[in-house]
A and B are shown apart, each in its own frame.
Chain A
Amino acid sequence: MNSNGAVVTATDLSRRYGEGEAAVDALRGVSLSVGAGELVAVMGPSGSGKSTLMHLLAALDKPTGGTVTIAGEDVGKLSDRGVTLLRRKHIGFVFQFFNLLPMLSAEENVLLPLSIAGEKPDPEFFKGLMDRVGLADRADHRPSELSGGQQQRVAIARALVAQPTVVFADEPTGNLDSRTGAAILELLRASTTDLGQTMVMVTHDAQAASIADRVLFLADGAIARELPRSPAATILATMSEIS
């Protein structure tokens, strides 16, 4: 699936929290690359460094060693402003806790990244997106008037609206029941399949990981195993193997 070339690469990435005795090595030399249009899931036991890895890949945090490139740019070499512009253009986020702005309607929340960048939405794309996430009739609702699943749909639409190079999702279904979670996963899968959206998703859930083109297993801050697209049962077995 790497046919279109890598859009995100990490080389020998490490991250140490704290200093001296109390220091924790959350990541110890992780290298990976994510190809365009690929949906990669990152799995691993709690504390294995999944979130840390994602923060580094998404340029939310700085590694203590190694490099990250996004769309060919070495993130470590960018200024604060450079990273900001990189985020605008190349990165979308889906958070576990949605992070919607309560005072804005669903539609306004979705459009926010564009308005921050000072851009106008392509009406056709935007309408398609709202239809795709199933929010066309909820556009005027406030987040507080939406269910958790609907809120996450808004968040996904928001991540997709600027058509970023890559979308990062940290446990996007972690806060939802399995039924709603499954629908969200379907939506994510469809955005990669239909729109070619590259995506990196951290998850605890084997079911979630089963939609990915590739599953990376982290243990103790290092990549322990890698699976191509696999059914949930295989993923579950691999998980118990490594932990």
Chain B
Amino acid sequence: MIRAELRGLLGRKLRTILTAVAIILGVAMVSGTFVLTDSIDKAFNSIFTDSRQGSDAVITGKAATSTNNGSNAPTIPESVLAKVQSLPDVKAAEGNVGGDAHLIGSNGKAIVFGGAPNLGFSIPHGASRFNPLTLVEGDWPHGQEVVVDKKTAGKKHIAIGDTIGIQAQGPIVRLKVSGLVKFGNVGIGGATLAGFDLPTAQALFDKKGQLDEIDVAAKSGVSDQKLLAQLRSVIPPNSQARTAAQQAAEDAKDTNTFISFLRGFLLAFGGIALFVGSFVIANSLSITIAQRTREFATYRTMGATRRQVLRAIVVEALVIGTAASVTGLFIGLALAKGLFRLFDAVGFTLPNSGIIFATRTAIVSMIVGVIVTLVASLRPAVRATRVPPIAAVREGSTLPPSRFARFRTVGSAIVTAAGFAALLYGLFGKHLGTKGVLIWMGVGALLIFVGVSMLSVRFIRPLAWALGWPATRIGGTAGWLARDNARRNPQRTASTAAALMIGLALVTLVAMLAAGITASFRGAVNKIWTNADYAITAQNNFDPIPIAAANAVAKVPGVEAVANVRTGDARAFGKNFFATAVNPPGGSIFQLDWKEGSQAVFSRLGADGAFIDDGYAKKHNLRIGSPIDMTFSSGAHKVFFVRGIFNPPTGGSPFGTVTISQAAWDELNENPENLYSFVRMSGGDTPQNAAKLDQALKRYPDAKEATRQKFIDNQISGLNSILNIFYVLLALSVIVSLFGIVNTLVLTVFERTREIGMLRAIGMTRRQVRRMIRHESVITALIGGVLGIVLGIVLGGLLIARVDFIVFSLPVFSLIVFAIAAIFVGILAAIFPARRAARLNVLEALQYE
């Protein structure tokens, strides 16, 4: 019997494949994610390990405010190097500095590939064991020279002997290219490399007499423990010594965090696609099982037990699930390879040291794919066991209603309600960690989707009636029939539409959030930015920019005021937070909503004044005059007194929780940088003024000016890119649901062969048949679309109600686009089934049994 079922599966090849596609896509996403992130992970880790290859231990500055040793870690005095070198067990030691260094192309713009870093560093001795680079051509740098990585040089036509602009912590410096280098055997992606001798690097990074790290090699036979102990005896307190392996792990921490975030993020979308796929599978199986009622009944007349019927279907699902998962697994592998190429093609080269296909990838993909298929098959399988043997002899016999049929509506309402309860608990529940919030919200959303899809059966008839109205107008008789067909089997239409509903609900949710963020951000900028004409930001709109850029702007004729916002980590009350500093002109440029204090606070901050936002004040019970003991990443600390408390607008403000004066900031931080500067000029924002600023910023290619409107657009453009990523990833789920519609239609056409034959026999043209199928498809898709958009608005509204910095704003234009997209999905899905239906041979269709 199982053999018979499996044979049947082969006999229904097309239908089986269409069913499997739903799972294949989801599994491909899962396996592709693993392969991609594993490969990137491996590449990064080998970069970090390789770069520490020559060292046994590394000494770095220890930031007082955070655990990672980012650019805000304090430096080490150069004098420490000599002490380290004279330790008995140290064989060699070398001091280095590094930081962001932009190479300036021949067009005067910074060379950037995608979002990859632009790394600058010292190479004290090219031949030293600590240097991970290989010289490909030319010589190591000395004095006013630089080495550049071969790949960048090749792409940007940089040759040995050329003079090239470099910008690090000051204006552009022009250096001669002495050689081209290569980093090990690992592709470093789009990163650019610039190496200098130590004094040049120290000058470029504004670290004269200072080192970022000291690389140490031990004499042979000296244990790491012993080496570290010796090192610790001579290094200053705001520094630390680690083994090379520990340091490599530490270096990799940020990228690892990012990669695991990326992995989780992509897997979530794979999960969504699988969830949608499970609807498609369940629906396809239900339909095929309904069509095989006679077959199951015949088994039963021959003495097959219900359990045997169940087993046959579960095995069938198992086979589909396994085949689909294997296919998906390998498509995922190809997908990851393709993504590396794609990113490369669009200029965002990822580090690459070969594709990693881990056992875990195969196991997880298989398990997930098979389990989802099995779970999806359970309900249809149980239904099939209820086929009575007498159905073998009765034409058109339908399944008896399940014992629980009466409770369907109540049950689905309960599931939906439970979903909302879980979601609300996740959103508003107290003391939930991020993980808890996400889990509760995820479970809630899952239940809501299941519940609504079950509940929607009730509304299919009226919905199809209403949404099918245009079809009856446009399509004539074919349209009428299409509408009736869509309403004929509400259960089937509902499950088909549900798959699309999920995708569209999520798309709508994302669009709602984006619209909310945009609206609140725009509102905030308009409120705060009251009296400035230009903002100076980094090219990418969010990186810090050297102070020198703002200083250059201040000297431009016509500039009346420049307000700078410095930013960095700080710690107070035992917690790290984002602190800012501002200079006195801020008072005439920004307008804050003061709860305590006034605009005058900007110029009264002095050496120990601070203004804070209201949330922080409430949290720590701070009032005017309250002290805040702040520690900065350099390790310096100082007590500041509250001079003002302001209410930040919904969309946030350029100021962190605590803001101090620029003068105090620069005293306490080693490498102060601006996040933004805001400029007021006589005459306002005119093309002439913009040209003057551009001229002044020419030497700071990473900085640019923007009018208020441009500034808003620039900041939002980042959001739009993120939004587009979400759309692309959610499109996968929509594609899965599209296959669901195709599948349902193919099965339906198959089921209605005789009926379609009859319609053709009484004079329906092929074209009308196609139209009938197409309209039915569009009606189904529209039902899914409308349900999804409404559900998305509800979910988005709830989320926004929870999040303080987003206002409710309906993205009407996007919603219209989504509705049109749903129609489009319907049309697309109908192409193939409509063709098949139209091709039916009338005579054969009528004889069909």
A58–B849 alpha-carbon span in the complex (Å):
25
CB atoms of B7 and A104 under 8 A apart? yes
Min CB distance B8 to A, Å, is: 5
Contact with A along B1-20 (1 / 0, CB 8 A): 10110011011000000000
CB atoms of A84 and B11 under 8 A apart? no
Stretch at the interface among A87-95, A180-188, A218-226, A227-235: A87-95
CB atoms of B302 and A112 under 8 A apart? yes
> Of B8, B295, B301, which contacts A60 at CB under 8 A?
B301
Contacts of A91 in B (CB 8 A): 301, 303
CB atoms of A99 and B8 under 8 A apart? no
Would you call A102 an interface residue if the criterion is a C-beta within 8 Å of the partner chain's C-beta atoms? yes
Would you call A38 an interface residue if the criterion is a C-beta within 8 Å of the partner chain's C-beta atoms? no
A146–B301 alpha-carbon span in the complex (Å):
23
Contacts of A89 in B (CB 8 A): 303
CB atoms of A116 and B303 under 8 A apart? yes
CB atoms of A60 and B390 under 8 A apart? yes
CB atoms of B301 and A87 under 8 A apart? yes
CB atoms of B305 and A103 under 8 A apart? no
CB atoms of B301 and A112 under 8 A apart? no
CB atoms of B308 and A95 under 8 A apart? no
CB atoms of B300 and A51 under 8 A apart? no
Would you call B342 an interface residue if the criterion is a C-beta within 8 Å of the partner chain's C-beta atoms? no
CB atoms of B1 and A112 under 8 A apart? yes
Contacts of A115 in B (CB 8 A): 1, 3
A58–B392 alpha-carbon span in the complex (Å):
12
A117–B303 alpha-carbon span in the complex (Å):
7
Would you call B222 an interface residue if the criterion is a C-beta within 8 Å of the partner chain's C-beta atoms? no
Contacts of B303 in A (CB 8 A): 84-85, 87-89, 91, 113, 116-117
Which residues of chain B in 392-406 are interfacial with respect to chain A, using CB atoms and an 8 Å cutoff?
Answer: 392-393
Would you call B410 an interface residue if the criterion is a C-beta within 8 Å of the partner chain's C-beta atoms? no
Contact with B along A119-141 (1 / 0, CB 8 A): 00000000000000000000000
Would you call B299 an interface residue if the criterion is a C-beta within 8 Å of the partner chain's C-beta atoms? yes
Would you call A28 an interface residue if the criterion is a C-beta within 8 Å of the partner chain's C-beta atoms? no
Using CB atoms, name the residue of chain B closest to A114: B302
Contacts of A107 in B (CB 8 A): none
Which residues of chain A in 155-173 are interfacial with respect to chain B, using CB atoms and an 8 Å cutoff?
Answer: 158, 170
A88–B299 alpha-carbon span in the complex (Å):
10
Contact with B along A25-37 (1 / 0, CB 8 A): 0000000000000
Contacts of A58 in B (CB 8 A): 301
A88–B1 alpha-carbon span in the complex (Å):
14
Would you call A205 an interface residue if the criterion is a C-beta within 8 Å of the partner chain's C-beta atoms? no
A32–B374 alpha-carbon span in the complex (Å):
48
Contacts of A96 in B (CB 8 A): 393
Contact with B along A73-107 (1 / 0, CB 8 A): 00000001100110111010101110101111000
CB atoms of A104 and B4 under 8 A apart? yes
CB atoms of B4 and A112 under 8 A apart? yes
Using CB atoms, name the residue of chain A closest to B1: A116
Which residues of chain B in 374-396 are interfacial with respect to chain A, using CB atoms and an 8 Å cutoff?
Answer: 388-390, 392-393
Would you call B754 an interface residue if the criterion is a C-beta within 8 Å of the partner chain's C-beta atoms? no
CB atoms of B390 and A93 under 8 A apart? no
CB atoms of A103 and B302 under 8 A apart? no
Which residues of chain B in 282-315 are interfacial with respect to chain A, using CB atoms and an 8 Å cutoff?
Answer: 294-295, 298-306, 308
Contacts of A204 in B (CB 8 A): none
Contacts of B299 in A (CB 8 A): 112, 116
A15–B609 alpha-carbon span in the complex (Å):
96
Contacts of B390 in A (CB 8 A): 55, 60-61
Contacts of A55 in B (CB 8 A): 390, 393
Would you call A213 an interface residue if the criterion is a C-beta within 8 Å of the partner chain's C-beta atoms? no
A112–B312 alpha-carbon span in the complex (Å):
14
Contacts of A81 in B (CB 8 A): 305
A55–B297 alpha-carbon span in the complex (Å):
13
Which residues of chain B in 302-336 are interfacial with respect to chain A, using CB atoms and an 8 Å cutoff?
Answer: 302-306, 308
Would you call A12 an interface residue if the criterion is a C-beta within 8 Å of the partner chain's C-beta atoms? no
Min CB distance A113 to B, Å, is: 4
Contacts of B302 in A (CB 8 A): 87-88, 93, 112-113, 116, 158
Using CB atoms, name the residue of chain A closest to B297: A99
Contacts of A97 in B (CB 8 A): 849
CB atoms of B7 and A84 under 8 A apart? no
Min CB distance A173 to B, Å, is: 16
CB atoms of A99 and B306 under 8 A apart? no
Contacts of A61 in B (CB 8 A): 390
Min CB distance B276 to A, Å, is: 30
Min CB distance B320 to A, Å, is: 16
Using CB atoms, name the residue of chain B closest to A158: B302
CB atoms of A103 and B10 under 8 A apart? yes
A115–B393 alpha-carbon span in the complex (Å):
22
A117–B300 alpha-carbon span in the complex (Å):
11
CB atoms of A60 and B389 under 8 A apart? yes
CB atoms of A103 and B393 under 8 A apart? no
Contacts of A87 in B (CB 8 A): 300-303, 389
User: Provided the pairs A99-B298, A101-B4, A103-B4 are in contact, do residues A60 and B393 lie with their beta carbons within 8 angstroms?
Assistant: yes
A152–B159 alpha-carbon span in the complex (Å):
87
Contacts of B10 in A (CB 8 A): 103
Contacts of A84 in B (CB 8 A): 300, 303-306
A88–B302 alpha-carbon span in the complex (Å):
6
Contacts of B389 in A (CB 8 A): 60, 87
CB atoms of A102 and B11 under 8 A apart? yes
Using CB atoms, name the residue of chain A closest to B2: A115
Min CB distance A169 to B, Å, is: 11
Which residues of chain A in 64-79 are interfacial with respect to chain B, using CB atoms and an 8 Å cutoff?
Answer: none
Using CB atoms, name the residue of chain B closest to A80: B306
A19–B1 alpha-carbon span in the complex (Å):
38
> Of A88, A103, A117, A158, which contacts B8 at CB under 8 A?
A103
CB atoms of B393 and A101 under 8 A apart? no
Contacts of A88 in B (CB 8 A): 302-303
A55–B389 alpha-carbon span in the complex (Å):
10
Min CB distance B744 to A, Å, is: 23
Using CB atoms, name the residue of chain B closest to A83: B389
- Can you name 29 A-B residue pairings with CB atoms under 8 Å? A51-B393, A60-B301, A60-B388, A60-B393, A80-B306, A81-B305, A84-B303, A84-B304, A84-B306, A85-B305, A87-B300, A87-B302, A91-B301, A91-B303, A93-B302, A95-B298, A95-B392, A97-B849, A99-B298, A99-B301, A101-B295, A101-B298, A103-B10, A104-B7, A108-B4, A113-B302, A116-B302, A117-B303, A158-B302
Residue ranges of B at the interface with A (Cβ–Cβ < 8 Å): 1, 3-4, 7-8, 10-11, 294-295, 298-306, 308, 388-390, 392-393, 849
Residue ranges of A at the interface with B (Cβ–Cβ < 8 Å): 51, 55, 58, 60-61, 80-81, 84-85, 87-89, 91, 93, 95-97, 99, 101-104, 108, 112-113, 115-117, 158, 170
| Further pairs besides A93-B392, A101-B8, A112-B299: 12, Cβ < 8 Å | A55-B390, A84-B304, A85-B303, A87-B302, A88-B302, A88-B303, A99-B294, A103-B10, A104-B4, A115-B3, A116-B1, A116-B299
